[in-house]
Amino acid sequence: MDSQSVSEISALGRDENSTDVALTMSFAAEGDPGSQAMIGYLYLVGQGVEQDDLEAERWLWRAAMQGSADAAANLGWMHENGRGVERDDGEAAKWYRQAAELGAAEAQTNLGWMYEGGRGVSQNDAEAVKWFRCAATQCDAHAQNALGFMYENGRGVPQDFVEAEKWYRLAAEQGLADAQNNLGTMYEDGRGVDQDSFEAIDWFRRAAEQGDALAENNLAVMHAAGRGTPQDFNEAAKWYRRAAERGQASAQYSLGLMCRHGCGVTQDDVDAAHWYRRAAEQGYCQAQTALGLMHWHGRGVAQDHAEAVLWFQSAAAQGDPHAQNILGLMYGVGKGVKRDYVVAYMWATISRLQGEEDGLGWRRLLAGRMTLTQLSEAKRLAQIEWARKQLHSASAMHGDQIPA
């Protein structure tokens, strides 16, 4: 979760035409904290004066020292973002706290995010919830959405989908795209509300039309699957493309699939490889496997077995059983990598443990070519890798989006 922008955390963003800057400056020079806070804000955003972070910080500090909540909140934002000062989460949290204790809702939200992420303060979900609730009861949409997230995931409060849905709805009805997307997932999954794909797609669309990449991806999923709307691959491709162009990895992978198979778009292996690569470079393991296959077969890219193996290795390390199975084959035949029966058997075993079918009896073939020592070592390595994967899965946090 990110802090709200300075324009959102200040009540001072009035139209410059309604502000007599010279008069405000004179009041500020005489020590009026409200005027000092206003001048600091104007310098920060370059409204009515030439933008100047150093001047902004000087005036905001003077106002904050006299108890201005708006000035303290904006000073927190400057320290968090390294504007006019060294980036310092501890200083940011200090100023957010000063503003939060004076009742500034936006600062309360930002302080909650600092506690939620353990930035500038010790990580503390209960403290995060406390500050989110303070701001949420003042109708701050970002805080309402954050509080919904905490209830949905049982962070700092007992997990409660009904409470999560309540707070998401309050924020969504204020037009916050993140909350609209989150409310859509609650309807699609039937958590806190009766399952309703029609309601889900309505909320996804509201968020998507504001440019929310997760919602664009989720809306594409609904169109592709025909959930809450007639199945329409052209419409799905349109929304996948919008999300993909914003950098959403799941959408990039899905758009790659559509390009690869000519579904909703013209079939184009070059485009498919392009979108697989965009997602793969973000660590999306299914895209890494798909890109590996493109390199393996020379589809949309030059055939390059060594490059293919690199992508299979990345996906296998993340636990993709298909990549693990392929990687086992590659090591077994020595294609794109030096032949190594021990490593081949290790990956084939891990893949099988995750349910990947061994239709060719590959593990039995490998075992027949290995010594007892090699087989024992392969099993030992497989146990270590499997244990590592289980530990990683147990500690992983899952996002709210609908998977493609």
Q: CA-CA distance, 145 to 234, in Å (whole number)?
A: 32
pTM of structure = 0.85
Percent of the chain with pLDDT over 70: 91
Q: At what angle do helices 89-101 and 105-117 cross, to 10 degrees?
A: 140
pLDDT band at 367 (very low <50, low <70, confident <90, very high): confident
Q: What is the pLDDT of residues 246-294, one digit of tens each?
A: 999 999 999 999 999 999 999 999 999 999 999 999 999 999 999 999 9
CB 10 within 8 A of CB 40: no
Q: What is the pLDDT of residues 278-288, one digit of tens each?
A: 999 999 999 99
Whose CA is closest to 60, among 80, 81, 27, 38?
38
**Vertex 197, ends 193 and 198: CA angle to 5°?**
105
CB 308 within 8 A of CB 292: yes
Q: What is the pLDDT of residues 128-147, one digit of tens each?
A: 999 999 999 999 999 999 99
Q: What is the pLDDT of residues 87-130, one digit of tens each?
A: 999 999 999 999 999 999 999 999 999 999 999 999 999 999 99
Query: What residues have CB less than 8 Å from 313, skipping those under 6 apart?
Result: 323, 327
Strand, helix or coil at 61? helix
